[in-house]
Structure 1
Amino acid sequence: MRAGLYMFGALALGAAVPALTQPRAQTRATSAASPLAHPDTWPQLEMRRQRDPKVEARVDSILSRMSIEDKVGQLLQVDIASITPGDLETYKLGSILNGGNSAPNNDEFAPAAEWLKLFDAFYDASVKRSDGRPVIPVIWGTDAVHGANNIVGATLFPHNIGLGAMRDPQLIRKIGAATAAETAATGIDWSFAPTVAVVQDDRWGRTYESYSEDPAVVASYAGEMVQGIQGTVGQDFMKPGHVISSVKHFLGDGGTGGRDQGDTRVSEAVLRDVHAAGYTTALPAGALTVMPSFSSWNGEKMTGNKSLLTGVLKERWGFDGFTIGDWNAHGQVPGCTNEDCPAAINAGLDMFMYSGPGWKQLYDNTLREAKSGAIPADRLDDAVRRILRVKVLAGTFDAGRPSSRPLAGKFDLLGAPEHRAIAREAVRESLVLLKNNGGVLPIKPSASILVAGRGADDIGMQSGGWSITWQGTGVTNADFPNGQSIYAGIAQAARAAGGSATLATDGRYTRKPDVAVVVFGETPYAEFTGDRATLEYSPEDKSDLALLKRLRAAGIPTVAVFLSGRPMWVNPEINAADAFVAAFLPGTEGGGVADVLLAQADGRPAHDFRGKLSFSWPRRLDQYVLNRRDPGYDPLFPFGYGLTYGETRVVPPLDESKPKAAGVNQNALFVRGRLVPGARLVTSGAVRQTRVDRSGQEDSLRLSFAGAGSASIVEAEPIDITRESNGQLSLLIDYRVTQAAAGDVTLSIAGGRTGSVPIAGALRSAAADWRQLAVPLRCFADQGVDMAKVGTPFAIATTGTLGVDISGVQILSAPPGPVTCGNK
């Protein structure tokens, strides 16, 4: 790596952390590296929660009275979008969950009362039986990853990457407890958190779910978060207001080369010393469930890796809770499908997580294999015993209907003042000051402040993914009734200090301000859609940079507040600002940003910057693997860096040059007038193509069909979109009809064979407005398309006349609401 103009010295971690083996730099294993773990080389853990003879006796009593059908039922967790409460009257399943886009009445904005009402219905059905066999209540799992983030009105805390910058384990425990209380208010009794990934490649779209690139930081937080969620063993463990925790994703999810569901190719020592760090504190703290990862280790899927699930996790470490799969991940184990996978159970998976219409097939196949011995009886009993143990420890058998539980229905806990105060404190502590040339910050109390940028008054953008909707898209400020935007926080603080703040997203003003605060950054995303080719911020849209330059050119001191789920290459933006703050994804308490940026009425800062980088900041856009133990470590700002108001360090102009090879995002098939590199547009029949403007010059394609014809995007080499299909992403087309369809119209994807869906219904009326069509990838996969070898990811064909403008073709999560396989 070449040396740059400027580099700051690394800073110490600061917070005390458990003793861990100091790992060497992460290096990729050879292609022949073994996926077989050697448990005797792993540390033994001292569990604080010991087996309780009374609990074990109760579990044994229940297990002895269960039929094999009952036992197999406990092995299934099914998404609420795929099952009804009535199903549980017949099928006594172990659990239900709401997936990222699942909600009561198919309404992601359903009020909290509807969540509680639906859980009551599932619970009532699960305990209804008259055959004399044991009544085993169902439990509900949810992704409460930065607060009870599926529920309108909940407090949303900073995402983990920001929390890592705090270096405050005690505050982490408070966040976990507040999240558990708000989750319990809806009756839900299980949170799929914390994520303890130690991300090593920042291109990954889940980087923001990681506390740090450094295993010591992750270890210092994991156990504290578990204790916040579940309570402390021997004190308030699983008392009312606490919920079941799930530590995820076991193991090595942060080392997949920036690719979701990828393959972590590292030595066993690196897997143990880097990626397992969080488990060394989370499991001793009493974590009741662990979620195996979608990803692989040295070529073998974690969901089927017996040496790790059984050998390390259960036998070496002594984990006696249960393992819960991740979203149909068992279907990726060799020899398995989503509806049939004894190999995963035999490897050590205890509960399938299933989404889709085929859950009854999964039940039937698993029952058949349990009866035949393909799943040995002792393995079946071990899995069920673990599930029952967790349910007993969690109080499931004695708690009654969800609505009858102590905190259930207390919806004033959602966004409660004490929880918002914790979140605001976390925001203050998580902000990292990268640059403050000229002492622009703190902003003087009497200043006239211009607040600009797309993120200035957008609570959804500052909260990121997993914020009401899975990808965090399709939300407005009104959907966060207990939240505050960054602009609103600044305006409130400015008024209190005798100044003023004006909002102008585009940065235009009539009276020149004393200072400008520009809030910009990544728009929300979650897994799949968040994976990046490089770390360059917004490579195809430089409007934020232009705004910064325009304000600074006008002689206005400019403060950049950067929202992102990862460190990014923003050298041009840093150069264009006098001060630069990495705010990451602070959540719903925008006032926490104002607390640090603005001085009090007496001119002194109310709060200093405390945040220290939990991830190294790149000097170049291709430094996506940049960890402080790596050979040739050469960051722009090193791990642990973060200025305070007492420092006067000047950041000189940064190098803005870029390498020619910048990487490709294959899921952006056609964006801003450009095809993904290597692809071409192929037309046949009576079709003419021209260019038109939408947001920029010739950024959209106009297709005019005089009769039967087609237009296709053809890849130079087939692409693999299996992960995206498994993850229930969709083909999203931004379009405008210029001439209504006069015949049949189909949308197709081809790989091996072609899958097509009708879309004429969406194109039968011309309109001046732009619209969006979402078709799930599963619609094509179900027709036999080989999603691992897609040569034509988009084709539109018609039998009659049609005019349509297309401004975007991408593989993304669908907007909120139902999606179907076609529109006739």
Structure 2
Amino acid sequence: MAIKSLQRLTMTGAILAALTACQSSEKAEDASQAEAASTPQPSQASAVEWPRIESEVAKDPAVEERVEQLLAKMTLEEKVGQMIQPEIRHLTPEDVTKYHIGSVLNGGGSFPNADKYAKVEDWLALADAYYEASVDTSGGRAAIPIMWGTDAVHGVGNVIGATLFPHNIGLGATHNPELLKQIGWATARELSVTGIDWDFSPTVAVARNERWGRTYESWAEGPEIVGDYAGEMVRGLQGEPGSDEFMGEGRIIATAKHFIGDGGTKDGIDRGDTTGDEVHLRDVHGAGYFTAIEAGVQAVMASFTRWDGIRMHGHKYLLTDVLKEQMGFDGLVVGDWSGHSFVKGCTATNCPASVNAGLDIFMAPDPDWKELFANTVQNVKDGEIAMSRIDDAVRRILRVKVRAGLFEAGKPSSRPLAGKAELLGAPEHREIARQAVRESLVMLKNTDGLLPLSRDMKVLVTGDGADNIGKQAGGWSISWQGTGNKNSDFPGAQSVYDGIKEAVEAGGGNTELSEDGSFASKPDVAIVVFGEDPYAEMQGDVPHLAYGRGDTSDLEMLKSLQEQDIPVVSLFITGRPLWVNRELNASDAFVVIWQPGTEGGGVADVIFRNNAGEINHDMSGQLSFSWPKRPDQVPLNVGDEDYDPLFAYGFGLTYADTDTLGDNLSEEGLKKTETSDVLTLFNRRPIDPWGIEVVGAENDRVVMDSKSVSTSTVTVTAVDRNEQEDARQAVWNGKGPGHVALFVDERQDWSEYLADQAALIFDIKVDKAPTATTYLRLGCGSYCASDIEMTEGMREHLDGTGWQTVSIDLNCFPTAGANFGLSQPQEEFITQVIRPFTIYTEGELDMSFANVRLEKHKAASALVNCQNQ
């Protein structure tokens, strides 16, 4: 590794002294959870009446008798095993037999043999192994088939070649409930190919704050569309109740999630506190559950959120009194990713409170799930959980399995659609998805009727989303966050550019593709495809609704094209309404294409005329979320007392409409969002424009765009701290130098932060202290850097102490390196920041980091303080 002109500032003593006062950042979290969870449970005699839902899947005496017969034969250990759901990375077939495991899941980005490119045969082989282990009767154990659940939230996102439909926010804009039933049918068929029999879908959240990173998983900001859609999606997945198709060939178990209020958290913070009283909870957030239960949904997933100060995984009133008793839900309640560990008094491995509250299945994705099994068995023996509650949970699980026909279905590879790889991305499924794309497009602007375009034109297609299927697919696409994919990972799919090229060439025109807006010959029109990069839960939360958050490259491209007298059509990829006034002003036409999935050709179907010059498909999409006038205009929901959107709920131009928007929308709203005292570099994920680079001893550099990456000397993996994959673990193997860094392509100007006495703050956990000198480095590129030695601080005060928060006065850095105030003024360097957080060592080290940020006015109170130097 070539390191030039580095001077070391050794501050071991300062760090040692400072770290003695360092407190675990987990303690504050635990305290806040305990305080919130200490609120008494609501009274069962609540004045709010919830509807009694009559499920179209009525209780069958024959099913109930069979369930009771099975239950009577089961030991306590067998019953508890049915209530534990490990993740495939931590479950062997031998474990299934030994612990009587009743269900298994694969998380987003988790595959058989940890192989992203696992084939259908690999999925089936693992499914068969689990199944055969579950029905092993040796030793007199009960033969109860295992279920396998997965998050197929917009198609089968974990399997290469599957059809991916537009995310829910786009489907909401179609206002077409029947389409949801068809999507459910197609998804169930493709999932059945792999042998998986349980879908953690549909998400029936009513998203009330677009800062929430799961907004795109919601159909609408109000309950009407959600209520209309939920039941239809369930019917598509499970089949029509009362008919032969119910849980028949190519049908799977559906799950309504996340009960309840997941879309209504304060400030849109994922897993936060749901706002509103019980009437609001029922009338707004309950709509999807009412129709899903009516359609016979067999599973409900508990939410991570709190309501009335109580975590939903421990909310007996809502899970038992409301859902199971008042509403009459007789299926099973499954937890979310170790969600029980957030309940007061609970850990990931011990949580009787969740079972007592009404949770039937623990989702236990961590390696220590066996401790949860053992502790739950002991909880029953100690009387902390009544046997009647265990029997109720297992009765519900068995009822779902019997209704789903799992006892008769045989091993997964023997089922009717198993192994039929030709059904993945089947033409009839892709056509449903393409129709969904066409109907989801919402046109916000169309100056002088620019759209639809003629096909015989010279068309420039540009923008980083033009030929990027991963970007247009969004989160939950092969990987959990939808990152780290390339077009070849989506065989059979069409990018937006592919669809445009096909349409234009069929009409006698020609296309030119460029990402940066350049062209060989001047086009008749430029189509710019840009927008949000993929993200999923937690990592998609944002502080405000301004698009770009400091990156103006898309805007500059739009303006450049217009300045060259080229008409500009903007196709905006997004998972939520965003403040795009500047981009709207710089566009002649502006169409929101949401996250269309694998069938990008549906966009061209609408924005181009047919070969005869007639309208091919009209613009028909209408907003199911209100569009903001300002980046801080959130929450913004139809019916609000001060409702004043830029585009109202239900807005969407057709080709018959006259556009009067103009090019003079206010661009002033951004100033407030850009003057922040906190610059977040990493919070659950690198925050745009920051990324993570890993460099090894052989100068082998990898940019982290998947769950785990490795170089010759360093491996970095996304790990769970407080939430799923919200931290990164870095392990050096000691075979040479290496570093892990947060980096950005364009140099950043931090002079404002230096002037305002900022500190670099981060959370860190050291599991193995460094065996060689280790530095925290801030740099402006390969030729300049400033190092603070962390070796002794890590060894003496961080090793084995759990999570700690470290803060370092920014002034401590620019006095150290060759380009920091020695050969150059401090201010000159601080305008060239590229790698503000780098851990470098040549020895062995195992450490994790999270929540990296720069905060103004924190220098004086920083643990490492250089104010007097």
Contact 2:769–2:799 (Cα < 8 Å) also in 1: no
Q: In 2, distance between residues paired with 1:490 and 1:102?
A: 33
Aligned length: 723
Query: After the TM superposition, which parts of structure 1 deviate over 3 Å for at least 4 consecutive aligned residues?
Result: 31-37, 663-675, 721-725, 740-745, 748-763, 766-769, 780-787, 789-794, 800-811, 819-823
Q: Could you say if the C-alpha distance between residues 148 and 349 of structure 1 is closer, same or farther in structure 2, counting changes exceeding 3 Å?
A: same
Say if 2:386 is the partner of 1:376: yes
Q: In 2, distance between residues paired with 1:489 and 1:267?
A: 47
Q: Aligned-pair distance for 1:79? A: 0.6
Q: Which residue of 2 aligns with 1:214?
A: 222
Say if 2:313 is the partner of 1:323: no
Aligned pairs (5 A) from 1:428-443: 428-443=438-453
Q: Aligned-pair distance for 1:148? A: 0.7
Say if 2:262 is the partner of 1:248: no
Q: Which residue of 1 aligns with 2:247?
A: 238
TM-score, normalization by structure 2? 0.78
2:672 to 640, 645, 661: 661
Q: Could you say if the C-alpha distance between residues 246 and 673 of structure 1 is closer, same or farther in structure 2, counting changes exceeding 3 Å?
A: closer
Aligned pairs (5 A) from 1:751-790: 758=770, 783-786=800-803
Q: Which residue of 1 aligns with 2:724?
A: 727
Q: Aligned-pair distance for 1:729? A: 2.5
Contact 1:517–1:559 (Cα < 8 Å) also in 2: yes
Q: Could you say if the C-alpha distance between residues 674 and 130 of structure 1 is closer, same or farther in structure 2, counting changes exceeding 3 Å?
A: closer
Q: Aligned-pair distance for 1:327? A: 0.3
**Corresponding residue SS for 1:263:** coil
Q: Could you say if the C-alpha distance between residues 379 and 806 of structure 1 is closer, same or farther in structure 2, counting changes exceeding 3 Å?
A: farther
Q: Aligned-pair distance for 1:68? A: 0.6
Q: Could you say if the C-alpha distance between residues 622 and 73 of structure 1 is closer, same or farther in structure 2, counting changes exceeding 3 Å?
A: same
Judge which range, 753-762 or 115-124, deviates more.
753-762
TM-score, normalization by structure 1? 0.82
Q: Aligned-pair distance for 1:112? A: 2.2
Q: Quick one: which amino acid aligns to residue 70 of structure 2? A: I
**Corresponding residue SS for 2:592:** strand
Say if 2:424 is the partner of 1:427: no
Aligned pairs (5 A) from 1:541-552: 541-552=551-562
Q: Quick one: which amino acid aligns to residue 668 of structure 1? A: F
Q: In 2, distance between residues paired with 1:654 and 1:756?
A: 55
**Corresponding residue SS for 1:179:** helix
Q: Could you say if the C-alpha distance between residues 445 and 264 of structure 1 is closer, same or farther in structure 2, counting changes exceeding 3 Å?
A: same
Q: Which residue of 2 aligns with 1:285?
A: 295
Q: Could you say if the C-alpha distance between residues 659 and 148 of structure 1 is closer, same or farther in structure 2, counting changes exceeding 3 Å?
A: closer
Aligned pairs (5 A) from 1:260-409: 260-409=270-419
Aligned pairs (5 A) from 1:394-543: 394-543=404-553
Q: Which residue of 2 aligns with 1:101?
A: 109
Q: Which residue of 1 aligns with 2:210?
A: 202
Contact 2:460–2:525 (Cα < 8 Å) also in 1: yes
Judge which range, 330-339 or 90-99, deviates more.
90-99
Q: Could you say if the C-alpha distance between residues 584 and 57 of structure 1 is closer, same or farther in structure 2, counting changes exceeding 3 Å?
A: same
Q: Aligned-pair distance for 1:48? A: 1.1
**Corresponding residue SS for 2:323:** helix
Contact 1:522–1:564 (Cα < 8 Å) also in 2: yes
Q: In 2, distance between residues paired with 1:759 and 1:822?
A: 16
Q: In 2, distance between residues paired with 1:158 and 1:309?
A: 31
Contact 1:173–1:224 (Cα < 8 Å) also in 2: yes
**Corresponding residue SS for 1:661:** helix
Contact 1:215–1:278 (Cα < 8 Å) also in 2: yes
Contact 1:560–1:581 (Cα < 8 Å) also in 2: yes
**Corresponding residue SS for 1:283:** helix
Q: In 1, distance between residues paired with 2:534 and 2:86?
A: 27
Aligned Cα RMSD in Å?
A: 3.6
Q: Could you say if the C-alpha distance between residues 801 and 637 of structure 1 is closer, same or farther in structure 2, counting changes exceeding 3 Å?
A: closer
Q: Which residue of 2 aligns with 1:62?
A: 70
Contact 1:568–1:621 (Cα < 8 Å) also in 2: yes
1:491-528, CA deviations, whole angstroms, 9 ceiling, x for partnerless residues?
00001111111111111012100001000000000011
2:234 to 226, 231, 246: 226
Q: Which residue of 2 aligns with 1:774?
A: none
Q: Which residue of 1 aligns with 2:52?
A: 44
Q: Which residue of 2 aligns with 1:9?
A: none
Q: In 2, distance between residues paired with 1:204 and 1:90?
A: 41
Q: Quick one: which amino acid aligns to residue 134 of structure 1? A: A
1:584 to 567, 578, 594: 594
2:185 to 138, 155, 177: 177
Contact 2:720–2:727 (Cα < 8 Å) also in 1: no
1:173-226, CA deviations, whole angstroms, 9 ceiling, x for partnerless residues?
000010000000000000000001000000000000000001001000000000
Q: Aligned-pair distance for 1:660? A: 4.1
Q: Which residue of 2 aligns with 1:706?
A: none
2:577 to 567, 584, 590: 567
**Corresponding residue SS for 1:540:** coil
Q: Could you say if the C-alpha distance between residues 742 and 578 of structure 1 is closer, same or farther in structure 2, counting changes exceeding 3 Å?
A: closer
Q: Aligned-pair distance for 1:820? A: 7.8
Contact 1:572–1:654 (Cα < 8 Å) also in 2: yes
**Corresponding residue SS for 2:52:** coil
1:133 to 119, 130, 141: 141
Q: In 1, distance between residues paired with 2:626 and 2:374?
A: 49
**Corresponding residue SS for 2:138:** coil
Q: In 1, distance between residues paired with 2:219 and 2:630?
A: 22
Q: In 1, distance between residues paired with 2:809 and 2:409?
A: 50
Q: Could you say if the C-alpha distance between residues 139 and 722 of structure 1 is closer, same or farther in structure 2, counting changes exceeding 3 Å?
A: closer
Q: Aligned-pair distance for 1:109? A: 2.6
**Corresponding residue SS for 1:593:** helix
Q: Which residue of 2 aligns with 1:15?
A: none
Aligned pairs (5 A) from 1:615-626: 615-626=625-636
Q: Could you say if the C-alpha distance between residues 667 and 180 of structure 1 is closer, same or farther in structure 2, counting changes exceeding 3 Å?
A: farther
Judge which range, 573-582 or 77-86, deviates more.
77-86
Aligned pairs (5 A) from 1:707-726: 725-726=722-723
Q: Aligned-pair distance for 1:412? A: 0.6
Q: Aligned-pair distance for 1:274? A: 0.4
Q: Could you say if the C-alpha distance between residues 753 and 133 of structure 1 is closer, same or farther in structure 2, counting changes exceeding 3 Å?
A: closer
**Corresponding residue SS for 2:122:** helix
Q: Could you say if the C-alpha distance between residues 757 and 782 of structure 1 is closer, same or farther in structure 2, counting changes exceeding 3 Å?
A: closer
1:192 to 193, 200, 204: 200
Q: In 2, distance between residues paired with 1:456 and 1:743?
A: 34
Q: Aligned-pair distance for 1:131? A: 2.1
Contact 1:148–1:182 (Cα < 8 Å) also in 2: yes
For structure 2, the residue ranges without an aligned partner over 5 or more in a row are 1-35, 692-702, 704-717, 742-759, 784-796, 821-831, 839-844, 850-869
Q: In 2, distance between residues paired with 1:46 and 1:743?
A: 59
Q: In 2, distance between residues paired with 1:355 and 1:543?
A: 40
Q: Which residue of 2 aligns with 1:593?
A: 603
**Corresponding residue SS for 1:249:** strand
Q: Quick one: which amino acid aligns to residue 599 of structure 1? A: R
Q: In 2, distance between residues paired with 1:271 and 1:66?
A: 38
Q: Quick one: which amino acid aligns to residue 49 of structure 2? A: T
Q: Quick one: which amino acid aligns to residue 297 of structure 1? A: W
Q: In 1, distance between residues paired with 2:688 and 2:63?
A: 60
Q: Aligned-pair distance for 1:784? A: 4.7
**Corresponding residue SS for 1:244:** coil
Contact 2:766–2:798 (Cα < 8 Å) also in 1: no
Q: Aligned-pair distance for 1:306? A: 0.4
Q: Could you say if the C-alpha distance between residues 246 and 451 of structure 1 is closer, same or farther in structure 2, counting changes exceeding 3 Å?
A: same
